């Protein structure tokens, strides 16, 4: 009987997707799979939805009816905030979950200053990061002048996507951001399941749990 906690980032940047679905929609699918897997194992499931504040907390419990409520909230919840505060979510997790839990932190990790809170939370719980990425966050298509708005701050800029230097700088910044994030995971000893909006997530989940099985064996 484990306690599985789902920490879901519902900030403004999650309402973005350039392929077939938004990052928030992919997060909801993943949470549904994890939640149903948990009740199949007779585990408790809890939910924390956060932006720059704690938006919703559902205490861990068992049963199909409870899991359906968790999934419904992840699918249809309308957050008030637009920013991202991962340290606040991890601090809240430590405060409300006294028993050691398996905690899935589902986010695009477009945030700062979460390394120390992540390390502290991973000492008390088994924290698993689930970074969600969209291909347009890594590379710009050549479509001329484009107005881009930051979903969290509201700031708008006009970008010339036909400019080779602009696209190269954009891709380099995205790569550096991903490297910094993954280095934080390594330093804090947090396992990660990397998923993308343009790829099936089943293989990523399968590889992760196979890796965990081999580690335990």
pLDDT tens, residue by residue, 141-186 = 666 776 766 655 667 777 777 778 777 887 888 889 999 999 999 9
- Cα distances from 102 to residues 99, 115, 138, 198, in angstroms, run 10, 18, 30, 27
Which residue's entry shows tokens 């008030």?
A: 80
CA-CA distance, 35 to 197, in Å (whole number)?
Answer: 20
Highest mean pLDDT among 7-16, 33-42, 50-59, 173-182: 50-59
Q: SS in 3 state form for 4-37? A: EEEEEECCHHHCCCCCCCCHHHHHHHHHHHHHHH
CA-CA distance, 68 to 55, in Å (whole number)?
Answer: 19
Are 62 and 43 spatial neighbours (Cβ–Cβ below 8 Å)? yes
CA-CA distance, 183 to 172, in Å (whole number)?
Answer: 16
CB atoms within 10 A of CB 68: 14
pLDDT tens, residue by residue, 52-97 = 999 999 999 999 999 999 999 998 889 898 889 999 999 999 999 9
Q: Which residues pair with 12 in a beta bridge?
A: none
Of 22, 39, 206, 6, which is closest to residue 106 (Cα–Cα)? 6
pLDDT, residue 106, reads: 96
What pTM was estimated for this model as a whole? 0.87
Backbone angles phi, psi at 139, to 5 degrees: -150, 135
Highest mean pLDDT among 21-30, 36-45, 85-94, 133-142: 85-94
Backbone angles phi, psi at 67, to 5 degrees: -65, -40
Residue 10 has pLDDT above 70, yes or no: yes
């Amino acid at each position: 009987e484990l306690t599985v906690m789902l920490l879901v980032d519902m900030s403004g940047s999650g309402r973005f997707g350039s392929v077939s679905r938004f990052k928030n929609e992919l997060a909801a699918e993943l949470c549904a799979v994890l939640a149903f897997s948990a009740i199949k194992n007779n585990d408790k499931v809890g939910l924390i939805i956060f932006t720059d504040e704690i938006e919703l907390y559902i205490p861990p419990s068992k049963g199909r009816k409870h899991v359906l409520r968790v999934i419904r909230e992840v699918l249809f919840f309308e957050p008030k905030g637009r920013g991202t505060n991962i340290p606040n979510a991890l601090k809240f997790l430590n405060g409300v979950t006294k028993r050691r839990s398996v905690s899935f932190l589902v986010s695009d990790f477009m945030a700062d200053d979460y390394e120390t809170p992540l390390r502290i939370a991973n000492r008390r719980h088994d924290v698993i990061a689930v970074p969600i990425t969209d291909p347009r966050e890594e590379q710009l298509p050549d479509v001329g002048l484009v107005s881009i708005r930051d979903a969290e701050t509201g700031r708008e800029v006009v970008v010339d996507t036909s400019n080779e230097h602009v696209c190269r700088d954009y891709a380099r910044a995205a790569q550096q951001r991903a490297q910094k994030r993954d280095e934080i995971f390594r330093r804090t000893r947090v396992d990660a399941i990397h998923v993308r909006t343009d790829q099936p997530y089943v293989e990523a989940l399968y590889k992760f749990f196979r890796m965990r099985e081999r580690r335990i064996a």
